[in-house]
Amino acid sequence: MVSLPLDEALHATRVLRLTPGDSIRVFDGGGGEWRAEIAHVKRQQVEVVLREAVAAAREPRIPLVLAPAVLKGEKMDDLVRDAVMLGATAVQPLVTDRTEISIAALARSTRIERWQRIAIASCKQSGRAVVPAIRSPLTFEAWLAEQNSSFRLVLVEPAATADSRAVHDVSEPVSAEMAVGPEGGWTARELAVAESTGVQFVTLGALTLRADAAPIVALTALRTVWRDL
Amino acid sequence: MVSLPLDEALHATRVLRLTPGDSIRVFDGGGGEWRAEIAHVKRQQVEVVLREAVAAAREPRIPLVLAPAVLKGEKMDDLVRDAVMLGATAVQPLVTDRTEISIAALARSTRIERWQRIAIASCKQSGRAVVPAIRSPLTFEAWLAEQNSSFRLVLVEPAATADSRAVHDVSEPVSAEMAVGPEGGWTARELAVAESTGVQFVTLGALTLRADAAPIVALTALRTVWRDL
């Protein structure tokens, strides 16, 4: 017997008006998904019995963390939803030179919890059973300096740097993290710091993409190149 | 000497407050782009002198027409903007079994002119000098029956049909048109009609994408596979 979390219990009873015997799907956020049956409904508590395990959407073979500069308002909500739908392993919000909010202001706000709720909702919509973590925001420099073995990519416009590679030519890593800049792009200072840490700059053809479309296009392009969509 | 179209003339004088001698960029919508100088400003008429031609964003090598089911309200605006930004050769709006507006209602509305304006604005934003046509809406069946030599793709969910191909495995055509379904997807009837006309069904991995994200993801994936982003 498993109890549903409070918000799911309220949704089940007040919105969907489910009663004992009704069949639902539940997932644990770590990859497990089951067909389940409602056993008891008692005020705000809903208990379900797990029946058989069901096959959730396959997770991508190559873990890919998206590290986008925090965009304004709803644009960031859409970005989180789409990144989860496209199989991002985690979302690492970045504060960059041209980001209009500070780490401290983000920490005081309710935006991170909001993105976590959006990530869960996006998993439900897209049939994904693993809920990607929304990591604590970092400055771009702190992200560059982080010690982990993932291959680091930084999305840039073709003219931004001499040393970039087209997305078609990025060979398959064991795991990767990709930073995407804010409205207005990276500053020359940021590009110089990134270059000194040995990241791979990557470009998406000659067109200028909107800041809110670029991460989705880049995720799709990389997964396609790696045959991992 | 060239006169700017009325809306661009008004934008130049009333919003940007440009005066004779100011430098601008103009494009003819057919691939030509120039640096130009404002010569005369007279009420709603702005005349410019073309200086040197400039290099616009390269057009994709493989013409690809996007044929999306008409989505509701602003979602379709976003779709048109993103499709133009990603190099679609034209946009062919489709009315399908689950589309909530009829061809007649679309023809009476101002939506098609609105999408044409959005296409021009998106060209300006993305540095594209060719303005893709927004074609007259067609039913899905009429689109399937159209006589032209473009390779026809229909985006489907993996479970929708037995005979589909992953986007990674769609080899490079001379030119292509791709239909993408509405919220709620294709009906069984539509899939049967499509199958009988010999289209190529194509899938985008196991995840369920939102109707407004699917066309962009599919455009990006195909262009990446064809190394034509």
Q: In this predicted complex, what is the ipTM?
A: 0.76
Q: Do residue A208 and residue B58 have CB atoms under 8 angstroms apart?
A: no
CB-CB neighbors (< 8 A) of A223 in chain B: 205
The neighbouring-strand residues paired with B46 are: B41
Q: Do residue B221 and residue A220 have CB atoms under 8 angstroms apart?
A: yes
CB-CB neighbors (< 8 A) of A204 in chain B: 229
CB-CB contact of A221 with B224 (8 Å): yes
pLDDT in tens, A14-69: 888 888 888 888 888 777 888 888 888 887 888 888 888 887 777 889 999 999 99
Angle between helices B214-225 and B73-85 (to 10 degrees): 10
CB-CB contact of B146 with B34 (8 Å): no
Using CB atoms, which residue from A167, A209, A220 is nearest to B85? A209
Q: Do residue B213 and residue A85 have CB atoms under 8 angstroms apart?
A: yes
Q: What's the one-letter identity of residue B116?
A: Q
Q: What count of CB pairs under 8 Å joins A to B? A: 93
Pairing of strands A200-203, A64-68: unpaired
Q: Do residue A167 and residue B224 have CB atoms under 8 angstroms apart?
A: yes
Using CB atoms, which residue from B81, B208, B220 is nearest to A220? B220
How far apart (Å, rounded) are the C-alpha atoms in residues A31 and A132? 10
pLDDT reported for residue B226: 92
Using CB atoms, which residue from B167, B213, B227 is nearest to A229? B167
pLDDT in tens, B179-224: 999 988 999 999 999 999 989 999 987 767 888 888 999 999 999 9
In chain A, which residue's Cα lies nearest the Cα of B216?
A: A217
Residues of chain B that touch chain A, judged by Cβ-Cβ distance less than 8 Å: 57-58, 81-82, 85-87, 125-128, 166-168, 204-210, 213, 216-217, 220-221, 223-225, 227, 229
Which tokens in the block code for residue A183? 């409205």
Tell me the shortest Cα–Cα distance from B112 to chain A, in angstroms.
23
The backbone torsions φ and ψ at residue A165, rounded to the nearest 5 degrees and listed phi first, read -125, 140
Which tokens in the block code for residue A107? 């920490």
**Tens digits of pLDDT across chain B (229 residues):** 888 888 888 888 888 888 888 888 888 877 778 888 888 888 788 888 888 888 777 788 999 999 999 999 889 999 999 999 999 999 999 999 999 899 999 999 999 999 999 999 999 888 888 999 999 999 999 999 998 889 999 999 877 777 889 898 999 999 999 999 998 899 999 999 999 998 999 998 776 788 888 899 999 999 999 988 8
pLDDT reported for residue A103: 95
Nearest Cα to Cα of residue B124 among B92, B84, B184:
B84
Q: Do residue B210 and residue A127 have CB atoms under 8 angstroms apart?
A: no
